[in-house]
Amino acid sequence: KAHVLIGYDETNNRSFLEIDANVEILKDQETIDWIWNKQDKSFFDSKDDSNLCVIKVIPKSIKIMNDKKLDTPQTITFD
């Protein structure tokens, strides 16, 4: 289980997402090949690096927090 906070830069609004999720750590080469991007070389020598893995986040709920356009936080729940 994971609790993920994602902020984003918006000048007039300091909103962020709060995500309650289950996670899976994936190390299979097929998934790594599918998701690998040339920019990843900034962090890893190659997609064969033994430290490389994919973190799959499966949301249970997402809450929009601190958004000035909303009176109260809004929650989206997934089954």
Distance of CA 76 to the CA centre of its chain: 16
The whole-angstrom separation of Cα 7 and Cα 16 is 4
Average pLDDT, the chain: 84
Q: What's the domain count of the chain?
A: 1
Threshold 0.75, pTM exceeds: no
pLDDT at residue number 53:
92
pLDDT for 4: 76
User: pLDDT digits over 11-34, tens only?
Assistant: 566 778 888 888 899 999 999 999
pLDDT of residue 10: 62
What is the domain extent for residue 47?
A: 2-77
Domain with residue 23: its CATH number is 2.30.110.10
Can you list the pairs that 5-9 forms with residues at least 24 positions away whose Cβ atoms lie under 8 Å? none
